Amino acid sequence: MKNIIVCLLALLMTASCVISITGCAEKESFSLPSRSRTDEPLKMSASYEYGLYDDGCAIIIAYTGSEREVTIPDSIDGHTVVAIGDSAFAQNTAVTKVSLNKSLEMIESYAFYACSSLTDIDFDNSLWHIGAAAFERTPWLSSRTEDFVIVGNGILLKYQGSAHKVTVPENVRHISYAFSMNENIVFVDMGNNVLTVGDSAFSFCPNLREVKLGENVISIGNGAFENCEALVRVNLPDSLLKIGNGAFNLCIYLNDIHIGGSVTEIGESAFNECQRLKVVTLPASVKKIGVNAFENCFSLLLVFYKGTEEEFNSVEIEGVLNYHLRDAKKIFEPVEG
């Protein structure tokens, strides 16, 4: 009965936190969050400074307590805690153990960075996003010896192997900054269970030449493939909804990009400095192309657009430095039927 009630509540929340439902359907479901931070001043409660999202959920901004064992509260002042913000616990020398609450979905970058006494973390399966370097320089992460460090709801937090060709394990659903600055990897096969590729996931991997994205990836985070200068070609699946800011920034050898048929937004500087990019395939689903998304794409000659000329002209293309995209030859390929 409890699981049924949880499911009904989740379906009724139109501006909810990320939905991850188990026990009430044959297949677990997932959707990206639609919430955004409000402009309200930060608030204090007990040992926490926190902010609010527009759906009423809370994000912990800073921890001000002195406890050695910390349990993240389910709620603060009646607001469900869904996130721990950037550097919220960073460089804390007292905390030895952290128990994460059941409603927590996101841990942002550097949240527990350099917590020199942190040796124990209890993860919950609601967690799906961990930002860059969130647990770097902690005894807990240093003690992990396995090739694939997997936590929470199938988050690949870190890859510690040395292989050139890597197949992501089947139980991984979300990739954190796991491969960032890895100089060994040349090829990665994500399989079909990965749903999100997080911020900086493959950033600064100088020898990465090919990435096989699965057919269920829905989001590529900010800077996910930034400065992967050896990457030549990427096919982005039809399942993909959003390409983050700077996702392929400085991929200087990227020459062909095929964007699947569901992407609605291409982030700022997403393909900035892709100087050898010659061909781009854009779906008619695209509504917004961010500021300077194709800046300094000097070689861009051809755009295959899966829609009509009228539809292309209605796309919001921000920033004057997207002129390479605007000026490229367009071949319109409206989908029949």
- Please count the residues of the chain: 337
pLDDT tens for the chain, 337 residues: list them: 444 443 433 333 333 333 332 333 333 578 888 899 999 999 999 899 999 999 999 999 999 999 999 999 999 999 999 999 999 999 999 999 999 999 999 999 999 999 999 999 999 888 999 999 999 999 999 999 999 999 999 999 999 999 999 999 999 999 999 999 999 999 999 999 999 999 999 999 999 999 999 999 999 999 999 999 999 988 899 999 999 999 999 999 999 999 999 999 999 999 999 999 999 999 999 999 999 999 999 999 999 999 999 999 999 999 999 999 999 999 998 866 5
| pLDDT score, position 234 | 87
| pLDDT score, position 245 | 97
Contact by Cβ (8 Å): 287, 309: no
- What number of other Cβ atoms are within 10 A of residue 319's Cβ? 15
Contact by Cβ (8 Å): 276, 297: no
- The H or E element that residue 332 is part of is strand 329-332
- What are residue 306's DSSP bridge partners? 283
Query: Global pTM?
Result: 0.87
| pLDDT score, position 32 | 87
Contact by Cβ (8 Å): 101, 123: no
| pLDDT score, position 28 | 55
| pLDDT score, position 46 | 87
Alpha helices (H) along the chain: 2-12, 139-142, 309-313, 323-327
For each of the domains in the chain, give its residue range(s) and CATH number, in order of start.
37-143 (3.80.10.10), 144-337 (3.80.10.10)
| pLDDT score, position 286 | 96
